[in-house]
Amino acid sequence: MTDSGRTWREAEQALEAGIDFDRANAARIYDYLLGGACNFAVDREQAAKILTQNPDMAYVCRANRDYLRRAVDWCLAQGITQFLDLGSGVPTAGNVHEIALAHRPDARVAYVDFEPVAVAHAHEVIDGIEGVSVTRADMRDPEAVLAAPGVADLLDLDRPVALLTVAVLHFVPDAALPGILARYRAALGPGSVHVMSHGSADHDDPELAARTRAIQDGYRGSATEVVLRSRAAIRELLGDGELVAPGLVDIVDWPTPSPGERPTGGYAAIARFS
């Protein structure tokens, strides 16, 4: 037995799959905060730390999930039926394919994530569903992602695609991120859009900024620490795309203001880029 109670063979299998039992991971923490079951003790412990820093964190996760639903609905209303979901995480209620296929049975959804538990569970969830795939790949390598069979064989990149980077980019510290995203956008057909949400401490309200920084502190020591970018830096991640109204706003205020909802500290936007 290992110190954690697993057999040596179980530990070897986890290592082969790339599963890190010793450090919490954003996808599994998010799953736990949304009430899911695909997480480990280390993730729940990290989530407890985050909630201690900011008790609003579960609310922020739910608000982000609600934004994803509204954004997918908006894309479908524009006639966009193909979705490339980078950093899709552990599937839970309100998955992109559930939303899309309910309205358009011909929709196509390609999920991409690097976390092995998220990918394994996604395979179980989408098993037998036509028009949906999951690929284990690093989103920082656009060429590999776009060439993967689950993407290249499913999506018609000559037609409009919604590039989804929802609640994932603040876990990518790479300074080359604007260029990475530009390579994805360049590969997608006319009429495509970039759907984004991203955490930030760049707010006029000092209390809101402090709450968001507290979330960042809560992720320290995990395998996926948080990088909070300014409004200007977040806008830069969308390239020269034209922002859809109402522009770059708090997650709860897209696409219409929600004065009864407390702000999350995360920004949301959709940009037309081709």
Domain ranges (residues) in the chain: 57-272
Asked if residue 151 has pLDDT above 80, the reply is yes
Residue closest to 27 by CA, chosen among 3, 61, 4: 61
Asked if residue 13 has pLDDT above 70, the reply is no
Residue closest to 198 by CA, chosen among 168, 173, 178: 168
Percent of the chain with pLDDT over 90: 64
3-state secondary structure of 171: helix
Asked if residue 12 has pLDDT above 80, the reply is no
- Mean pLDDT, to the nearest integer, of 96-119? 94
Residue 267: CB partners within 8 Å, gap ≥ 6?
197, 198, 199, 200, 231, 234, 248, 249, 250, 251
Q: Please state, in angstroms and rounded to a whole number, the distance separating the CA atoms of residues 189 and 187.
A: 7
Percent of the chain with pLDDT over 70: 92
Global confidence as pTM = 0.88
Q: Please state, in angstroms and rounded to a whole number, the distance separating the CA atoms of residues 138 and 133.
A: 16
Evaluated on CA atoms 243, 200, 89, 153, the torsion sign reads positive
Q: Please state, in angstroms and rounded to a whole number, the distance separating the CA atoms of residues 160 and 188.
A: 7
- Mean pLDDT, to the nearest integer, of 163-175? 94
Asked if residue 219 has pLDDT above 70, the reply is yes
Asked if residue 260 has pLDDT above 90, the reply is no
Residue 30 pLDDT: 77
Q: Please state, in angstroms and rounded to a whole number, the distance separating the CA atoms of residues 206 and 257.
A: 20
Q: Tokens at residue 145, please?
A: 């992602």
Residue 46: CB partners within 8 Å, gap ≥ 6?
24, 29, 218, 219, 221, 222
Residue 69's pLDDT band (boundaries 50, 70, 90)? very high
Asked if residue 92 has pLDDT above 90, the reply is no
**CA torsion angle 265 36 125 76 (round to 10):** -30
Residue 93 pLDDT: 65
Residue 18's pLDDT band (boundaries 50, 70, 90)? low
* Superfamily of chain region 57-272: Vaccinia Virus protein VP39 (3.40.50.150)
Residue 189's pLDDT band (boundaries 50, 70, 90)? very high
Number of neighbours of residue 251 by Cβ within 10 angstroms: 27
The residue ranking higher by pLDDT, 4 or 104, is 104
